[in-house]
Copies of this chain bind each other. A is one copy, B any other.
Amino acid sequence: MKPVKVGICGLGTVGGGTFNVLKRNAEEISRRAGRQIEVVQVASRTINPDCDTSTTEVVDDVFAIVDNPEIEIVVELIGGETLAKEIVLRAIENGKHVVTANKALLAVHGNEIFARARARGVMVGFEAAVAGGIPVIKAIREGLAGNRINWLTGIINGTGNFILSEMREKGRTFEDVLQEAQELGYAEADPTFDVEGIDAAHKLTILASIAFGIPLQFEKAYTEGITQLTTADVNYAEALGYRIKHLGIARRTDLGIELRVHPTLIPEDRLLANVNGVMNAVMVNGDAVGSTLYYGAGAGMEPTASAVIADIIDVMRSMTVLPADQVPALGFQADQLSEHPILAIDECESAYYLRIQAKDHPGVLAQVASIMSVRGINIESIMQKEADEVDGAIPMILLTHRVEEQRINDAILALEALDTVQEPVVRIRVEQLN
Subset of 9 A-B contacts with CB under 8 Å: A32-B145, A133-B292, A146-B313, A269-B274, A271-B274, A290-B302, A292-B295, A293-B296, A316-B325
**A136-144, A354-362, A365-373 - interface stretch:** A136-144
Give the B-binding residues of A (Cβ under 8 A). Answer: 1, 17, 21-22, 24-25, 28-35, 127, 133-135, 138-139, 141-148, 213, 269, 271, 274-275, 281, 286-297, 302-303, 305-310, 312-314, 316-322, 324-328, 331-333, 336
Q: Say which residue of B17, B290, B302 sits within 8 Å of A296 (CB atoms).
A: B290
Contacts of A134 in B (CB 8 A): 289, 292
Q: Tell me if A297 and B289 are in contact (CB < 8 A).
A: yes
Q: Tell me if B290 and A293 are in contact (CB < 8 A).
A: no
For the complex formed, measure the closest distance between the CB of A216 and the CB atoms of chain B, giving whole angstroms.
Answer: 17
Contacts of A291 in B (CB 8 A): 296-297
Q: Tell me if B293 and A294 are in contact (CB < 8 A).
A: yes
Which of A33, A213, A292, A293 neighbours the largest number of chain B CB atoms within 10 Å of its CB?
Answer: A292
Q: Tell me if A142 and B135 are in contact (CB < 8 A).
A: yes
Q: Tell me if A296 and B306 are in contact (CB < 8 A).
A: no
Q: Contacts A292-B134, A325-B320: A25 and B148 contacting too (C-beta < 8 A)? A: yes
Contacts of A305 in B (CB 8 A): 146, 288
Q: Tell me if B303 and A296 are in contact (CB < 8 A).
A: no
Q: Contacts A34-B324, A271-B295, A317-B326: A289 and B145 contacting too (C-beta < 8 A)? A: no
Contacts of A314 in B (CB 8 A): 142
Q: Tell me if B29 and A145 are in contact (CB < 8 A).
A: yes
Q: Contacts A271-B295, A293-B293, A295-B292: A33 and B321 contacting too (C-beta < 8 A)? A: no
Q: Say which residue of B139, B294, B302 sits within 8 Å of A288 (CB atoms).
A: B302
Beyond the given A28-B213, A32-B141, please list 15 additional residue pairs across the A-B interface where CB-CB is below 8 A: A25-B146, A25-B287, A34-B324, A134-B289, A135-B142, A144-B306, A145-B313, A146-B306, A147-B306, A271-B295, A286-B306, A287-B302, A289-B302, A293-B294, A318-B325
Q: Tell me if B147 and A143 are in contact (CB < 8 A).
A: no
For the complex formed, measure the closest distance between the CB of A408 and the CB atoms of chain B, giving whole angstroms.
Answer: 31
Q: Across the two chains, which residue of chain B brings its CB closest to A34? A: B333
Q: Across the two chains, which residue of chain B brings its CB closest to A326? A: B317
Q: Contacts A292-B134, A293-B296, A302-B289: A31 and B333 contacting too (C-beta < 8 A)? A: yes
Q: Say which residue of B30, B288, B295, B310 sits within 8 Å of A143 (CB atoms).
A: B310
A310 to B195, CA, bound (A): 36
A314 to B138, CA, bound (A): 12
A192 to B12, CA, bound (A): 53
A22 to B286, CA, bound (A): 14
For the complex formed, measure the closest distance between the CB of A352 and the CB atoms of chain B, giving whole angstroms.
Answer: 26
Q: Tell me if A146 and B29 are in contact (CB < 8 A).
A: yes
Q: Tell me if A303 and B317 are in contact (CB < 8 A).
A: no
Q: Tell me if B296 and A295 are in contact (CB < 8 A).
A: no
A17 to B147, CA, bound (A): 12
Q: Tell me if A21 and B288 are in contact (CB < 8 A).
A: yes
Contacts of A292 in B (CB 8 A): 133-135, 294-297
Q: Say which residue of B135, B145, B274 sits within 8 Å of A144 (CB atoms).
A: B135
Q: Contacts A302-B288, A327-B317: A294 and B294 contacting too (C-beta < 8 A)? A: yes
